[in-house]
């Protein structure tokens, strides 16, 4: 199917999904209820039976996971400088301090050698991002965490359905946080989920996501832990259930589309394309680096020119340590060269299952025309 304007991301929502949402609205069960319970069971089943809890966003999930681990003021959490702002914000909101490290240029995943060097007596956890759906080396990650007795909270916002050595991310390890924003591989309109290694922490998050409320035997309620309101509505969960049923299909389609990107762009963009990975890569996005040194226009001008041709694009991502909030911690240009290069040169191209190969060709034709050899 040839599409009109190509945004860089778009969810796949069919009439059956829309009917399911309408049915849920007509049930008058709009807030958390049976659909949330069913969605959590489906997520648990997908991840090998591990307990899952859905929340309003992956950002909320990261914050709740940190709180469930007892992380707060005086603690440090190591994370990549090349990721979305949500990770650093979640850490900061608990009172802990984000400690940035550089990423590997090709995979854009956290450099584990740099991570090891950044560990101090105050380090309590590692928060790696599985960038664009490509998994970090999980064996090396967990060996490092175990060596230093650290918790691991995986930012898997871009990695629902990603597999490491055949196993879904979240089906092993410590805690994984997923996103169901409309630009992710599956959506619940807005929303996220945490998958845990143990039920006790899942139950703690269940209370933290709804005001810290605990029901007493006499039917009254108590609050013995300060919570917030991060519970997912049933309407969102109903869509999430339907999307999860098609997740593997969506991801297979993404891999097929990305193969055409590599076929068309590998010569011109040699050394600037993201890591290919294997069949476990879920390809949330495709974001090559631009050959700015031989371009006659800036990235912003290129994005405008693509838009004029009916092609959307994005930036994934700016360097977190160079934002105003985190420069205040003493970070500056030159601290993390790979993260900063990616921030300067990256461009996110359209990628979503409804695209056809002719749409990929259209993007590539425009990009090759606008970026000289």
Which residues are marked as active site? 184
Distance of CA 303 to the CA centre of its chain: 23
Give the SS3 label for residue 361: helix
Q: Are 195 and 52 within 8 A, CB to CB? A: yes
Please list, residue by residue across 247-281, b when 16 or more beta carbons sit within 10 angstroms of its beta carbon and e when fewer do. Answer: beebbebbbebbebbeebbeebbeebbbeebeebb
Cis peptide leading into residue 132 (ω within 30°): no
Question: CA-to-CA distance for 77 and 344, rounded, in angstroms?
Answer: 25
> CA 344, CA 122: separation in Å to the nearest integer?
32
Element (H, E) at 223: strand 221-223
Give the ranges where 209-310 is alpha helix by DSSP (H): 234-245, 247-265, 299-308
**% helix, strand, coil for the chain, step of 5:** 40, 15, 45
54 forms beta bridges with 193
What distance in Å separates the CA atoms of residue 287 and residue 307, rounded to the nearest whole number?
A: 16
């Amino acid at each position: 199917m040839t599409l009109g304007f190509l945004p860089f991301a778009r969810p796949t929502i069919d009439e059956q999904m829309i009917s399911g949402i309408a049915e849920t609205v007509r049930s008058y069960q709009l807030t958390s209820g049976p659909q949330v319970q069913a969605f959590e069971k489906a997520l648990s089943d997908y991840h090998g039976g591990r307990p899952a809890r859905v929340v309003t966003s992956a950002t909320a999930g990261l914050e709740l996971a940190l709180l469930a681990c007892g992380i707060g003021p005086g603690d440090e959490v190591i994370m990549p400088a090349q990721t979305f702002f949500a990770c650093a914000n979640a850490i900061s909101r608990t009172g802990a301090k984000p400690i940035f490290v550089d990423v590997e240029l090709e995979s854009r995943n956290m450099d584990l050698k740099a991570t090891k060097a950044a560990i101090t007596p105050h380090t309590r956890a590692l928060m790696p991002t599985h960038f664009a759906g490509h998994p970090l080396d999980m064996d090396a990650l967990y060996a490092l965490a175990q060596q230093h007795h650290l918790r691991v909270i995986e930012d898997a916002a871009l990695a629902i359905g990603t597999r490491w050595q055949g196993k879904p991310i979240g089906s092993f390890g410590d805690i994984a946080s997923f996103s169901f924003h409309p630009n992710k591989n599956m959506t619940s309109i807005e929303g996220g989920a945490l998958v845990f290694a143990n039920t006790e922490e899942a139950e703690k998050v269940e209370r933290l996501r709804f005001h810290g409320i605990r029901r007493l035997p006499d039917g009254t309620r108590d609050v013995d832990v300060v919570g917030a309101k991060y519970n997912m509505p049933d309407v969102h969960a109903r869509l999430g259930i339907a999307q999860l049923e098609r997740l593997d299909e969506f991801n297979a389609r993404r891999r097929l589309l990305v193969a055409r990107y590599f076929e068309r762009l590998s010569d011109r963009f040699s050394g600037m394309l993201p890591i290919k990975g294997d069949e476990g890569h879920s390809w949330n996005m495709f974001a090559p680096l631009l050959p700015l040194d031989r371009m006659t226009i800036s990235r912003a001008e290129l994005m405008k020119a693509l838009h004029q041709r009916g092609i959307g694009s994005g930036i994934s991502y700016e360097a977190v340590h160079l934002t105003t909030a985190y420069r205040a911690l003493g970070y500056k240009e030159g601290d993390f060269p790979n993260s900063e290069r990616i921030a300067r040169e990256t461009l996110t191209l359209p990628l979503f299952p409804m695209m056809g190969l002719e749409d990929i060709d259209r993007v590539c034709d425009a990009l090759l025309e606008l970026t000289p050899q």
